[in-house]
Structure 1
């Protein structure tokens, strides 16, 4: 049994630990670090429930060894919410009723985030292609696409400066 010491930045925080060489990243995240938002649906990369971002790219964490994450920057679904405020993708999934059982949702949001980083104004077809590696058995994808369109729109909007906050010529 080969043990390796790894250091990984996850959601902006440094984590380190000893892992067995054959430990899958998804198992290290869930079992060792208790970051359970990343789901395991198939262990064969078919469903996408385990999708996270590794150095900004969507990766199915059931197909990556934890040792391969050494020195990398990861973003899991737990890192979307900032300062108690939902990320536009989380807000979009809520507003557009884009979930039923919710099992695919974390991976779907992470795949969508990777898409929106590459293409801030995707067409419906580009969204469907961007999430094609993630399966949902409940919704039929219509509301998931709407949720991603909602998030894309929200992310493209300039920050609104409240009146009286010094943002204008008062």
Structure 2
């Protein structure tokens, strides 16, 4: 099977029953993507596939053949953290850090959805323009990513600071 992981082509033989999460963690040594519930309920395993957020525990690796997968390890460029990674540090958007990779990947995908004008349950204006990422909008859109430590205020602050100007 051939796919692109964090910008690099990868060829791997994989049992068709292996999840994308297990391929990333166990075969490709990318431990940033976390196994939380392994049932799609917590968001710890969120990665980007062709720029869209997915729960890697719910998909079989073979489903993503020929696709581009980005994990938290692939977000930094030229030795510098992604601006959202830095914002999580600046706003204390984590405590134990277990959910952080999934939160960050999910937020990047979520911001792209808002730029495309995809509404959420709380979106007031449904005209298809980019959706401003207010705190309420971010909380709704990120509700599938759980943090047992309760670092939500820092997470929301990091996301809104990073992407507020992107979607106006």
- 1:73-152 paired onto structure 2 within 5 Å: 73-120=68-115, 121-152=132-163
How far did residue 140 of structure 1 move? 4.3
With normalisation by structure 2, the TM-score equals 0.85
Selected match of 1:54 from 49, 55, 59: 49
Determine the structure 2 residue equivalent to 1:164: none
Higher strand fraction (1 or 2): 1
- Separation in structure 1 between the aligned mates of residue 107 and residue 162 of structure 2, nearest angstrom: 9
Please, what TM-score do these two structures have when normalized by structure 1? 0.85
Point out where structure 1 has 5 or more consecutive residues left out of the alignment. Answer: 1-5, 157-170
Asked if structure 2 preserves the Cα contact closer than 8 Å seen for 1:98 and 1:139, the reply is no
- Superposition deviation, residue 118 in structure 1: 2.2
Q: How many residues align?
A: 150
Is 1:12 the equivalent of 2:7?
Answer: yes
CA contact (8 A) 1:7 1:70 kept: yes
In 2, distance between residues paired with 1:52 and 1:131? 14
Q: Give the deviation of 1:139 after TM superposition.
A: 2.4
Distance 2:86 2:50 in 1: 24
CA contact (8 A) 1:43 1:63 kept: yes
Give, in whole Å, the separation in 1 of the partners of 2:151 and 2:85: 18
Map 1:35-50 onto structure 2 (within 5 A): 35-50=30-45
CA deviations on 1:68-99 (whole Å, 9 max, x unpaired) are 01011111100111001111110110000010
Whose radius of gyration is greater, 1 or 2? 1
Q: Is the 8 A contact 2:92 2:154 kept in 1?
A: yes
The CA RMSD over aligned residues, in Å, is: 1.2
